[in-house]
Amino acid sequence: MNDLQLFLPCPAGVEEFLAAEVARIVSGPVQSQRAGVTLRASWRDALALNLHSRLAQRVLVQLAHAPYRDEGDIYAIAGGVAWEAWFTTRDSFKVEITAQHSPLKSLNFAALKVKDAIADRFRERKGARPDVDTQWPRVRVYAHLTADHATLYIDTSGEPLFKRGWREDKGDAPLKETLAAAMIAASGWDASVPLYDPCCGSGTIVIEAAQIACRYAPGLERYFGFENLLPFEEAAWERLREEAKSQHRASPVPIFGSDVAFRMVDFARRNAERAGVDAVVNLRGGDALQRMPPSDTPGVMLVNPPYGERIEAAGVAGRERAQTEGDGDFFVQLAAHWKAHYAGWTAWVLTPDLKLPSRMRLKESRRVPMWNGPIECRLFRFDMVKGSARKQA
């Protein structure tokens, strides 16, 4: 268990940030690839990555990688894995499969062959087979097919890692915690200046930032899939958790959030309390077009404003504004407000609108591709100066 091949999937565009994060958590070389990173690591490293990673979707252990031509080959590859070293006949399991340019006609049939191979191997070696549970399995197996290779993984995370365990109150279109963390990573914010989200919704960005500032591991308050696997040792896991707790500190900078919908501010406060950072995050109601800078010291604004299908998250006030002004007028007014009152601040705005800078009459200094679920977005950086940023540029 000291020489495992790990794969940590992530949304496209986040790979370089994830690779840097993994290198901070564990030692050894990390290789970026499309939609994830790979590394050689120990079982302890796999647990530490689950505990500390804010950007990965899962931590997967690769158990097989071989060429295939048909479903029979996939059955043989899965049958050659020592599944009995990872779980028992008392543990239910589920097989999930993805593919890229696979020649097979049915992915469901390929997944069935993996399931059959696992069940048959257990029956041959243990005299019984584990049950399949597609809803709440104790063990998750992942298969990925390319044009000519099949790769099999066992999952150590269980629920996706963006489920930190603290967000029970949320709006209609919540931002995933992993995406909020990716926005923070892309911005380069390192808790040396204040951070402010003027459209904070249920508080995802400010809570992630507060935990980063306080060195609060994102996985401290949740359960993981590796706790169901045979290599798991509770004493070793508790030592890791205690080490993480010993790193806690007070935030060196203030963190602010506000939202036009007071209902969302209440949600954010309750979420911050569950996340252990309610004393760090300053949350208030208020219109982003009217709120003045929350700090005398310029800092970083990180904003995922309501747009399109997200407009409902702004509540009644957001819907009324959308009906009377439209998104375009809102962004024009927001840019004018920032130029008038937020000189010295750096604003990062996540949006699917590639023409947003021209609509806001601002010149971006950087744009980072990111995906908000199925929505392709850009994270734009605007360096705020009084008057027209275009003239300054």
Q: What is residue 103's predicted lDDT score, i.e. its pLDDT?
A: 95
- What is the distance between the alpha carbons of residues 254 and 298, in angstroms, rounded to a whole number? 11
The confidence score (pLDDT) of residue 172 equals 64
For residue 174, the model assigns a pLDDT of 77
What span, in angstroms and rounded, lies between the C-alpha atoms of 35 and 13? 7
Neighbours of 340 (CB within 10 A): 12
Domains of the chain: 4-155 (3.30.2130.30), 177-218+254-392 (3.40.50.150)
* Tokens read off for 17: 């940030």
Q: At 377, phi and psi to the nearest 5? A: -130, 175
Q: How far apart are CA 270 and CA 129, in angstroms?
A: 44
How crowded is the C-beta side of 366, counted as CA atoms within 13 Å? 12
Grouping H, G, I as helix, E, B as strand and the rest as coil, residue 370 is: strand
For residue 230, the model assigns a pLDDT of 98
Task: Work out the pLDDT band at 309, boundaries 50, 70, 90.
Answer: very low
Residue type at position 320: E
Residues 6+ apart with CB under 8 A from 358: none
Q: Can you give the pTM of this predicted structure?
A: 0.90
Q: What is the average pLDDT value for the chain, to the nearest integer?
A: 91
DSSP code, position 35: T
For the four alpha carbons of 352, 354, 360 and 364, in that order, the dihedral sign comes to: positive
Letter for the amino acid at 50? Answer: N
* Structure confidence by residue, pLDDT tens digits, 237-282: 999 999 999 999 999 999 999 999 999 999 999 999 999 999 999 9
Residue with tokens 């050659």: 80
Q: What angle do CA 293, 299, 301 make, to 5 degrees?
A: 75
pLDDT for 315 beyond 90: no
Summarised one tens digit per residue, pLDDT across range 126-147 is 999 999 999 999 999 999 999 9
Question: Model confidence over 55-112: pLDDT tens digits?
Answer: 999 999 999 999 999 999 999 999 999 999 999 999 999 999 999 999 999 999 999 9
Structure confidence by residue, pLDDT tens digits, 157-202: 999 999 998 988 776 667 899 999 999 999 999 999 999 999 999 9
pLDDT greater than 60 at residue 322:
no
How high is the pLDDT of residue 306?
Answer: 77
Q: What Cα–Cα distance (Å) separates residue 207 from each residue in 25, 193, 247, 282?
A: 21, 16, 18, 10
